[in-house]
Amino acid sequence: MSLLFLCPTKDPAPWLAGIKAADPGVDVQVWPEVPRPLDVSFAVLWQHPHNQWDLFPNLKAIASLGAGIDHILQDPTLPRHLPVARIVDPNLVTSMTQYVVTAVLQHFRDFGIYRQQQAKKLWQPVLPRDIAAFPVGIMGMGMLGSDVARALAALGFTVHGWSRRPKKHPALTTSFAGTSMLPAFLKSSRMLVCLLPLTDATRGILNADLFAQLPANAYLVNVARGAHLVTSDLLDALDSGALAGACLDVFNEEPLPAEHPFWEHPQITITPHIASITNPQTAAVQVVTNYHRANAGEPLLHTVDLAQQY
């Protein structure tokens, strides 16, 4: 039995240390050096090369190195009969909540305006915004979205959630569910946070039609995936004044190319996909647990529903 680390864009060192700390007995092979492919029973993936699967006929299960599995489903050669797990980790949740609260507050408390004033050495207080006029809508009320809702409600924001199925969540003023309730949800969202998984149903969802249904001067925070957002529609919505601004952590192409119009847009704040980075120390424990479960023929923790794509 062997665990394959198939993550070409990640430094394996902290993961190997985390796995060894969780269980020194686990045999780990790090792609592309895989001297014993027939031993591989469990593979951990992040942006993996496709067409590798014939090399590992004894593979029993797959895990994503992060919360999202869209990067795995992009592989048309994926062995679809195998269970796929993802990372669900309290550190990932806390870190995402910190990021979204920061993004929402920097807009709500006018930090953009004061940064511009500072550049011109201007001392011009603007009237504080009324929190009641700034309800936050969270698209995706899963592991991450539900904690973001909790934290924003604790700060006094009215919070609405949108998910596939309705939620009973104490922080939500309203739980909207399904496409039929999307218009009402958008109408109530002066600040919109996208925390949806990337699926066939959600790709390109942040588009002109959606922006047109938000209240005037709405603010967008996209921390989910770049492919949720239609680039030209965001630029048009900012230029027309339909949107006041956007804070973006994820992009269609990462790193964001130097010539991309987002870089220099005064109403866009950019961060380099750091909203919540999987912590190898804590997440490795879950990977090792799933490795043992897969080898024992037991169900994995945090499996995804491949039919729903999340």
| List of residues contacting ligand OXD (CB under 6 A) | 66-68, 278
- Can residue 193 be called a binding residue for ligand NDP (CB under 6 A)? no
State the binding partner of 18 from ligand OXD, ligand NDP, none, CB within 5 to 8 A by kind: none
Residues 243-262 that bind ligand NDP (CB under 6 A): 249-250
Q: Which residue is nearest to ligand NDP (CB)?
A: 142
- Can residue 148 be called a binding residue for ligand NDP (CB under 6 A)? no
Q: Is 162 or 262 the residue whose CB approaches ligand NDP more closely?
A: 162
Q: Is 67 or 229 the residue whose CB approaches ligand OXD more closely?
A: 67
- Can residue 171 be called a binding residue for ligand NDP (CB under 6 A)? no
**Minimum CB–partner distance for residue 14 and ligand OXD (Å):** 15
Q: Of 209, 234, 278, 240, which is closest to residue 64 (Cα–Cα)?
A: 278
Distance from C-alpha of 117 to C-alpha of 24, rounded to nearest angstrom: 55
Residues 27-66 that bind ligand NDP (CB under 6 A): 66
Write phi, then psi, for 136 (nearest 5 degrees). Answer: -105, 135
Whether 37 contacts 77, CB under 8 Å: no
Tell me if residue 225 is catalytic.
yes
Q: Is 15 or 56 the residue whose CB approaches ligand NDP more closely?
A: 15
**Minimum CB–partner distance for residue 176 and ligand NDP (Å):** 9
Count of residues in contact with ligand NDP, rule CB under 6 A? 31
Whether 214 contacts 194, CB under 8 Å: no
State the binding partner of 196 from ligand NDP, ligand OXD, none, CB within 5 to 8 A by kind: ligand NDP
Q: Which residue is nearest to ligand OXD (CB)?
A: 66
Tell me if residue 164 is catalytic.
no
The binder of ligand NDP chosen from 18, 135, 137, 197 (CB under 6 A): 197
Q: Is 66 or 161 the residue whose CB approaches ligand OXD more closely?
A: 66
- Can residue 188 be called a binding residue for ligand NDP (CB under 6 A)? no
- Can residue 80 be called a binding residue for ligand NDP (CB under 6 A)? no
- Can residue 218 be called a binding residue for ligand NDP (CB under 6 A)? no
Catalytic option among 48, 225, 228, 293: 225
For the chain, first and last CA: distance in Å?
27
Catalytic option among 265, 273, 292, 302: 273
DSSP labels for the chain? -EEEEE-TTS-HHHHHHHHHHH-TT--EEETTB-S-GGGEEEEEESS--SS-GGG-TT--EEEESSS--HHHHT-TT--TTS-EE----HHHHHHHHHHHHHHHHHHHTTHHHHHHHHHTT-----PPPPGGG--EEEE--SHHHHHHHHHHHHTT--EEEEESS----TT-SEEEESGGGHHHHHHT-SEEEE-----TTTTT-BSHHHHHTSPTTEEEEE-S-GGGB-HHHHHHHHHHTSEEEEEE---SSSSPPTT-TTTT-TTEEE--S-SS---HHHHHHHHHHHHHHHHTTPPPTTB--TTTT-
- Can residue 192 be called a binding residue for ligand NDP (CB under 6 A)? no
Q: Which stretch binds ligand NDP (CB under 6 A): 31-39, 53-61, 124-132, 193-201?
A: 193-201
Task: Give me the active site residues, please.
Answer: 225, 273
Residues within the interface to ligand NDP (CB under 6 A): 66-68, 92, 96, 140-145, 162-165, 195-199, 201-202, 223-225, 249-250, 273, 275-276, 310
